[in-house]
Structure formats: C-alpha cells, structure tokens
Structure 1
Amino acid sequence: MTYEQIRYETDGPVATITLARPEKLNAYTAVMGIELAAAIRAAGADDAVRAIVLTGEGRGFCAGADISGGADSFGGSGPNFAAANRPREEGGGFVGALFDSIKPTIAAINGAAVGVGATLTLPCDIRIAADTARFGFVFARRGLVPEAGSAWFLPQVVGLPQALRWCLSGSVFDAAEALRGGLVSEVVAPDALLARAQAIAREIAENTAPVSVALTRQMLWRFAGEASPAAALRVDGGFAMALGAGPDVREGVAAFLEKRTPAFPGRIASDMPPGYPWWG
C-alpha cells in the first residue's frame, strides 16, 4: 500500500510507523487514521515483523485533530471524527487495529501528544517519551468528550483517579508528570527516543515466542477489566497445555538450559492454539 500521511518501514523484526505531517505537527486527519490502521494490520500479517514502533516526524508526535476546517471538523459527519470513532463492528479504525494487534506495540512519543494525539497511544502496549514531550486530554476545553475509546483505555492504563484529574481539567502536562502518573514507562532525551523504542522492540523479538506474545497481550488487555479471574481461568489452562506440548516450549527450555538465545519455530499465521480467539 502507498501511504500519504504516514511512513511504514521495517528493519529486521521491527516495523516503524511514523506519522508524517511534520509541517502540521502531525495533526490527525481521516486519511492518517485509515493509513495507520492499514499499516498496523500489514505488520500483523507479516510473520517477519515481531514488534511495532509508532512515532512522529519532526517536533510533534500528534498535535490533535486537524481543525483547519473549524468546528465542523468534529461534527458527527466530520471527516476526522468518523475515522477516529468508527464502531468496533466496522473494524474500529486505528483503535480496533491497535487493540486487536497480534504484535506488541510501542509508542515513542517525541513531542506534543494532545487530544487524539494522546488517545491514539493508549491502546499501545508500551509508551515512552522524550523529555520534551507534552500531553493533554483537552476535550472538555473544546466542548467535547474523550474519544477513540479513551474513557475505557485511560483508566485501564493510569487508574480512574488520575484519568479523572487529567480529563476533567483538560490541562496540558509535561513528560515528567506523564511518568509520575503512569502514562509512560520511561522518559529519555529526544535524540535517544527512537533508538530506545526500537531496542525494546528488539528485546521482545529476540527473546520471546511470537505465539506466546500474541496470546499474552490479548489476554492482559481483554481480562484487565473483568470483575474476577473466572474468564481468564476458562482459557489460560487450555492455552498452557496446548503450548506446553508444542515445539516453542521445548525450544524455550532448551535455550534456557543451554544458555543461548531461543529460536522459536511457532508462527502466528499457522500455530495459534485451539480456542483462539476466545471472545465473541
């Protein structure tokens, strides 16, 4: 696929998706949302890709929705609104693509991440930031409500009290506050950010089994909001037994005993265990 507003690049097991409207601080458009979803799914379909890094070009990560069309940008039929908030049954746009991803996702937040620029990072598994990055869930200051599923994702990531503090005030805050609040897991110098994100991706790629990681990220995201462990218990035993009898576990144990890097044979495209996917 040819992309207009993002770049999609692979380097070994790592796919890097870059929001590429630097002259607009990568302000979000419907085209960007469609391309982002397509790139995430392309990475998921490529067995050579083991992890996805999402970042922005230039000074900004994503400075929110492109409002060059004025308030009409946010109307129910507005182009930016439609792509960000497509229902799950229609594929969920970039939100559905990130949430349903079978590859781990790492957001490398290089600059301003405001509005949809902040919420599009929430379905990512890991978020790190440059020390110059700034964040804002500014919807209430624009007369809006949290979008892109963020009323669910943000409390999952940082807890309800912190989510309420940021969303009710609509304030813009720095990377240090994002770290204290649990929105990002580490803060680094701007010139070290992308290399650090790619190093995390390579650590995953070089040491873990693709099938195990695909199952693990789905289990953690989908069971995190359950009221009890009952739903997890219905599936994790079966997966453990199926994987335990397979070649990935034999290779993982052998690599541990032989003190070497594992070479897991399992592939997501062909070796997911019976019972996956377990949700409706």
Structure 2
Amino acid sequence: MSEQPDTGRPGTEPVLYEVDEEGVATLTLNRPERRNAWNLPMERRFFELLDRAAADPDVRVVIITGAGTAFCPGMDMRRLEQNSRPGESLSFNDRPPMYGRRLLPKPMIAAINGGCAGIGLIQALICDVRFAARGARFTTAFTRRGLAGEYNMPYVLPRVIGLENALDLLLSGRTFDADEAKELGLVSRVVEPDGLMDSVRAYARDIARNCSPRAMAVVRHQVYGDLDREFTEALARSYSVMEYFAGSADFQEGVDSFTQKRPPTFEGLPPDFDPEDATRDPFLPG
C-alpha cells in the first residue's frame, strides 16, 4: 500500500490512520483520555487524513471510529469553557469547512463505538453509512449548552431522520441509545460492542473488493447532489451517468466478472477523478 499506519501510542496522535491490504482506510479519533473530545489539533489532523485518503488510489473505502469506549462526545469542554467568557466567541478563521469532505469521492462508514454528541455527531452524519455499538449513547446536546444548531445540523438532520424526529432531538437535546438511533434511521445497523469493528470491516472490505470505485464516487455525487434538485433535472443527470458508464471499462469488467463467476478487478480511483464529469449532459457545451 502507498500509506503506512501512523502508530503513535494512545494519546500521542490526535487521529490514527491505517490502510489495510484491501484498500480500507481507518481513521481513529485518538484522545481516549478525554473520551476523544474534539479539539482543533484533532480537527486539523482529521481533515488532513481524509484528504490523504481521497488522494490515494489504493484507498477505496474510509472507516471513522474512536479509540477506547467513546466515538466523540463533542467539543472538548475545556475549549468550550475558554469560549464562554463574555465578549469571546469561537473563531472560524483558518478552520476547514466542516462538510467539505462530504464531497469525498469514496464511501465513508462510521463505526460508532460509544458516546457520540455535538460535533462528534456531525462527523458521524458526514458518513454515508453508520454502524453503532449496542449501548452507544447519542445527543445533539446544543440547546443544553446554551447553543443553537451548529455546523448546519438543522439542515442535515431532517434529511436523515425526517422533520419531526430532527426537531425532537435538536430542541430537547435529550440522550438516546443506539437502538433508538436505529429506529429513527440515524444508524443503519446496531452491533454488539465486541463485534462492531469486525462487522464494519467486513462491510467495507466487501465494497472494496466488489464495487467499482468510479461507480461509487458517482453514486455518492448523485445522491448528495440530487437532494435539492427537481426530479426532471436529476433524471437528466441520471441519463448522462448511464451513457457515461455504458461503454466504460468498469462496466465491461462488471459484466465479465459476473458471467465468468469470478471477483471483479476494478481499477483504483485516480486522484484527479471528477464525478461531475459523469453527470454532465454530453449534448450540451461545457
């Protein structure tokens, strides 16, 4: 593989990074002594590593999890205390866009191993698929800290779990567990804690082995891009995608591997691949 794991001792690197032989990158929030509470060094490193995974053609899927018994309980309270004094506020200067990596052209899977709140819940929502350990606890938290909906959660959450469910969680800031998160549609799978990472890795490796990286990148681009498009515009883009892939090497390999009853061998995603190219109408200029 092109990247080697960051193997710092627990607590020495704010985020750990490892790529396995199947092309699955795992980012581990690594402040277990603070239950992986979010701070700015963690934020910078987290987004740097996501960019590294995006640019590496050997990486096909990204897993995000937490060290120890928590995923991320939100912003470190020490940081919040520093910004709760009159006349002071949290500066967003020189901070990376929180949702910028939602445009990452590779599937992202959250392995929520424990407490997940506030900005930690934002990171889970950035992911495409979410697994949770049974017993993991969730909360939006904001209103109970004297805050409104931060980091665009009032926009994102209703699109994941519906308007009334989102208002319930955002207004009350109440705590709920993994089983309720599954009922709400916030997570798709609940797994016993000792089997969480095995389940997530099995899912990620199946995708990495058997799905076209180009097709996955375009599907992700279609789904997020079409959320606020009119039906007819989305349909036109879908026709463009169909034409884009119809004569592609990936489609040929997909058909050949199916008829020959063998695993497919799709190429990795080039660093300069732009999913938008597949959705442009080939009969229109530009």
Q: TM above 0.5, one fold?
A: yes
Which position in structure 1 is the counterpart of 2:43?
A: 33
1:144-223 alignment, distance < 5 Å = 144-223=147-226
Which position in structure 2 is the counterpart of 1:96?
A: 100
1:223-242 alignment, distance < 5 Å = 223-226=226-229, 228-242=230-244
Does the 8 A contact of 2:244 with 2:278 survive in 1? Answer: no
Specify which of 232, 247, 250 is matched with residue 249 of structure 2: 247
1:6-42 deviation line (CA, Å, top 9, x unaligned): 1011112100000000010000001111111111111
Does the 8 A contact of 2:58 with 2:268 survive in 1? Answer: no
Which position in structure 1 is the counterpart of 2:55?
A: 45
Please list every run of 5 or more consecutive structure 1 residues that lacks an aligned counterpart in the other structure.
none
Q: For the residues of structure 1 that align with 2:255 and 2:241, how far apart are their CA atoms?
A: 17
Specify which of 7, 15, 18 is matched with residue 6 of structure 1: 15
Query: How far is the alpha carbon of 1:146 from its aligned partner?
Result: 1.8
Does the 8 A contact of 1:30 with 1:82 survive in 2? Answer: no
Please list every run of 5 or more consecutive structure 2 residues that lacks an aligned counterpart in the other structure.
7-11, 281-286
Alignment root-mean-square deviation, CA: 2.4
Q: For the residues of structure 2 that align with 1:255 and 1:188, how far apart are their CA atoms?
A: 32
Aligned length: 269
Q: 1:255 to 1:176 in 2, by over 3 A?
A: same
Q: For the residues of structure 2 that align with 1:77 and 1:198, how far apart are their CA atoms?
A: 43
Which position in structure 2 is the counterpart of 1:116?
A: 119
1:128 is paired with a residue whose SS is strand
Q: For the residues of structure 1 that align with 2:225 and 2:268, how far apart are their CA atoms?
A: 23
Does the 8 A contact of 2:15 with 2:45 survive in 1? Answer: yes
Query: How far is the alpha carbon of 1:249 from its aligned partner?
Result: 0.6
Q: For the residues of structure 1 that align with 2:183 and 2:160, how far apart are their CA atoms?
A: 13
2:16 is paired with a residue whose SS is strand
Does the 8 A contact of 2:29 with 2:72 survive in 1? Answer: yes
1:74-122 deviation line (CA, Å, top 9, x unaligned): 689756x638x95xxxx514x212x111110000000000111112211
Which position in structure 2 is the counterpart of 1:275?
A: 277
Q: For the residues of structure 1 that align with 2:224 and 2:171, how far apart are their CA atoms?
A: 25
1:207-259 deviation line (CA, Å, top 9, x unaligned): 11010000101110121233x21232232222221211111111101111111
Larger Rg: 2
Q: For the residues of structure 1 that align with 2:105 and 2:43, how far apart are their CA atoms?
A: 19
Asked if 1:106 is matched to 2:109, the reply is: yes
Q: For the residues of structure 2 that align with 1:248 and 1:127, how far apart are their CA atoms?
A: 27
Query: How far is the alpha carbon of 1:148 from its aligned partner?
Result: 2.0
Q: 1:5 to 1:265 in 2, by over 3 A?
A: closer
1:35 is paired with a residue whose SS is helix
Q: For the residues of structure 2 that align with 1:73 and 1:196, how far apart are their CA atoms?
A: 39
Specify which of 56, 61, 73 is matched with residue 63 of structure 1: 73
2:27 is paired with a residue whose SS is strand
Does the 8 A contact of 1:247 with 1:266 survive in 2? Answer: no
Q: For the residues of structure 1 that align with 2:158 and 2:213, how far apart are their CA atoms?
A: 28
Percent of residue pairs identical: 38
Q: For the residues of structure 2 that align with 1:251 and 1:38, how far apart are their CA atoms?
A: 33
